[in-house]
Chain A
């Protein structure tokens, strides 16, 4: 049918089909700011546009409905202020506010949020915080925790009202000590807007500086993200924002059965459908066994999967690939593929996996074992770690505490689905443009699967709309690549939200038994964990995730006195296969699973002993200068090497956090626990202490190269993968600080296997630490060359200067005499004038240590004791992540992480029926928190100086996942006496406990 759309005040005559969605039409027309979240019910809101000024979801609207209405996208708002000789009005005020406040992380939902904000501020310039949150309620964000987007809208409102707003970076300088006797300073927006206090003070996080540093120009400051301006404009920066002539659309036929053999498969009708270019089944592809886990060589896990197989092992497993001219044709072709299954009994309960007679999930002869994996027992990995003498420790204990805990399968839920585009370039090299966290692993691991040498594959990682570990997987690249090889044509494959839930990766569910020996004075004498981990149908990350569960969670409490010198720790684990969607990497990488039991267990012990739960924990916790207890015993299947931990700000984190949440006024105060007028409500407060890791020692490596341009700016090329975290920005900041230039002079380009140095990718909280050190090393080499060139130039005019004493400041090389050369003069001299050379350097870094970040997590809850419903009112996290390179992006990581962890605590889980059919297939059933239901979030950084990093930094990205669930669990115990042993904290669990005498559930 023929219609005319008015988009951004321009008429577009179009031919459309009656069933075409507005989202598809807009993207076809090049409005790439309108994002596809994979959902079919408008849950995520990334596709929002303004429809006659009101935000609506374009994925649940027919294009035909929009005729006669005004459609507005972010493309109609501001633009870059300088376009060569043309000056523009610059970004819209709302866009500027999003950039300044750090409201943009991955940026995938940003255009939708900007539009929603615009609609709100056109209705009122004095919105309350609640009104802002309500306006944002239709746009899900998995990165930010909504704190900074809310702040951005409030800030924009203030600017539009004509009020003065302070620079975001101004109120709390690095070096300030947070003083609890002082009234809190308010940064950013004035309070006259009617905005709530909850968000108002949160733009720049609170900083407690333990180790003073000399002031820096860029490091330590809340620099706007280097990619923020393009993201806030909705520029075509993501993997799917890409057009290529003759591109085919891929779809995957997925198994309806949890466990079955494919007896017969007939693709005749599908292949005959007009518009279908290729249909591939297991018969068409070489049988190459591999692991989809994106990890360094050699893969520390079994090789147990094929691109396509004749056996399916979970509902959602791959059966066939189709490439067609349109998505509709590809979908229709899937329905024409006739498959005959021999349905096998499914194995769904990991407790039965190693039973005699249990269904065997991996009986393929190509299976490649790793370490102790044993497919005949459904065992993907086994861990047996003994430190000290655990039995002796138990024998010396006055009391033994034993309990079992359970954590569920949950999903990363990045708003951008997995998406990949593949095509042959002019040199017949396969280009893979993909939303991955591990571009170099994709290239290496995919090469044998495709029967291509590594050198004929180029992997490009554009902007990524969130990953959280879900994209540390070679999950979809082979689908499009096989189809490009089959057809010779470009192919795009974009997963739907349902596919994300039924076929992508998840957090490993675990059943964990803890046994702890305790002296009467609260000294831990021995600690033992047995973990039954469920890897699902394939062993992706099976060994390493579960190993991390013990390596971090069982390392924090070593005991006191002589036990501190010689801790007694046992960590045993079996990682088993089941016929469920595979588990894999998810932010925290096994550690949140470990800290749920450990921190719930510690709370129980402290209360049983009548000890203060904080004092009990600190008595037994690791202290500076002590060995990481696991460093002598286990290292992901490689030889362990002793590792001393030098920076532990845990005690200060506790002090800061307890004051921020007013612990001393609330804990143990009966009056505070009741709610006047609501006799069925009880308030509770809880704490958890956690540690994480910073990269993998002796393994993770990152590279960087820097070259100087004619104008004195620098190209920084890194293999590191910014998946929305802001790593490009912090790497740029470290380069800028080292070279003495502003961040704007560092042009960061990352993650292209043809052009950037190797980096293992974005995982294990390693980028700032590993890749950052590589960047600083490269920058130091470049700085040395700049100094030498400046010395040469000084010498040419008769001034002899030792290059070592030349300072690089504010784009200038400064001699002790005060003589200077600008970087532009130096660059022109080096490139064009005399002894010509390219100032450039390459460096890489691998670390022998993995200094852990530490944190104290506090939670305040209200429990309805008649229904069991839990409302989390407040989360406070005080974190020692070393020196914070960028407080705005780092606090964004903490806020977003706490929000994901909040879902883990109270609402998120993936449930399967007795046939292995998943209950959760969309964001309706798998609810993630909306902006208008968030608790108050507070982030405090306790800065220590980690000596193994050039700027003293440690990791920040994963640790916020670890403590929220146990802190909430402990708060529930404090509120109503229910001792939860499993999450999520569903109302019925708590109600059932309260309704019976059974207090442990």
Chain B
């Protein structure tokens, strides 16, 4: 049961509420997760008016406020088309009208395509207070344990990279059981993220060139077994999907050439 509801007007006001001594308070984005919490005894701090709902671009890339709704990101003209495609699979129309990017990253699990591709893009999270920056890949394994700050304020990623993902599910819009996402930069740096399993997607490879993406993916999902799929299946299919993504990126490169 939620005790009290607050709607601060600024990040500072939100931080003050969230850090008040003796209070168990949680920040709330779209509410899609927090509104259904049965376990009681906490207050919510609704962030809808703190000003974190804008998307900005600079030379380095794109920065989305934590309160940017998935629908806004999906339809943003500068967002990579693969981001839009991922959101369409991950969330229905109603859900993406409510859910925020920050909330999605905080409450999601390993079966989100959006989280997987942001991991492939080496997205960085900014936390308040202090504008502490943490790479998504460093934060995801520790999510829910030692947060780098009180409030996730921004998610940023470079926009110059190529990006492709592929997935397997029981139906086209079902939650995937294997996801492979590959980002490749002009320098040749190639980063492979895998999803469809566990509490969070993982990095399978981050290096120069695309050689070995299949081997790395197979190794990364060596023990990825649960009620939904065997580890043997996941590792072999992850390898195959990663190779497909690389093939697609190569095709893009050739067409650009």
Contact = CB atoms under 8 A, between A and B. Distances in A.
A and B: interacting chains: yes
B241 A867 contact: yes
A802 interface: no
Contacts of B88: 134, 932
A965 to B, nearest CB: 14
B206 interface: no
Contacts of A65: 28, 31, 35, 46, 48
A867 B235 CA distance: 11
Contacts of B172: 871, 933
A927 B177 CA distance: 13
A1 interface: yes
B173 A924 contact: no
A869 B1 contact: no
A32 B81 CA distance: 39
A927 B175 contact: yes
Interface size class of A (residues with CB under 8 A): 35 or more
B256 interface: no
Interface string B230-257: 1001001100110010000000000000
Given A18-B5, A48-B94, A65-B46, A60 B31 contact: yes
A56 B94 contact: yes
B240 A866 contact: yes
A53 to B, nearest CB: 10
B95 interface: yes
B84 to A, nearest CB: 11
Interface in A25-64: 40-42, 45, 48, 51, 54-57, 59-62, 64
Contacts of B16: none
Nearest to A135: B93
A988 B2 CA distance: 42
Interface residues of B, number: 46
A869 B94 contact: no
Interface in A133-188: 134-139
Contacts of A615: none
B254 to A, nearest CB: 14
A328 interface: yes
Interface string A911-951: 10100000100001101011011000000000000000000
A1 B7 CA distance: 13
A162 to B, nearest CB: 27
Interface in B85-121: 88, 92-95, 97-98
Contact of B31 (A62, A134, A929, A986): A62
Contacts of A17: 1-2
Contacts of B92: 45, 137-138, 930
Contacts of B22: none
Contacts of B48: 65
A927 B171 CA distance: 9
Nearest to B172: A933
A741 B36 CA distance: 52
A680 B243 CA distance: 12
B31 A906 contact: no
Contact of A986 (B46, B95, B170, B244): B170
A933 B2 contact: no
Interface string B18-39: 0000000000101111111010
6 contacts: A51-B98, A55-B93, A60-B35, A65-B28, A138-B92, A907-B171
Q: Which 9 pairs, one residue from A and one from B, show the smallest C-beta to C-beta distance? A: A138-B94, A19-B2, A138-B92, A907-B170, A933-B172, A18-B5, A933-B173, A138-B93, A64-B5
Interface of A: 1, 17-19, 21, 40-42, 45, 48, 51, 54-57, 59-62, 64-65, 67, 116, 134-139, 328, 331, 680, 864, 866-869, 871, 903, 906-907, 911, 913, 919, 924-925, 927, 929-930, 932-933, 984, 986-988, 991-992, 995
Given A19-B2, A988-B177, 12 more contacts: A19-B35, A21-B35, A45-B94, A55-B94, A57-B32, A60-B31, A60-B36, A62-B44, A138-B94, A866-B237, A906-B170, A927-B175
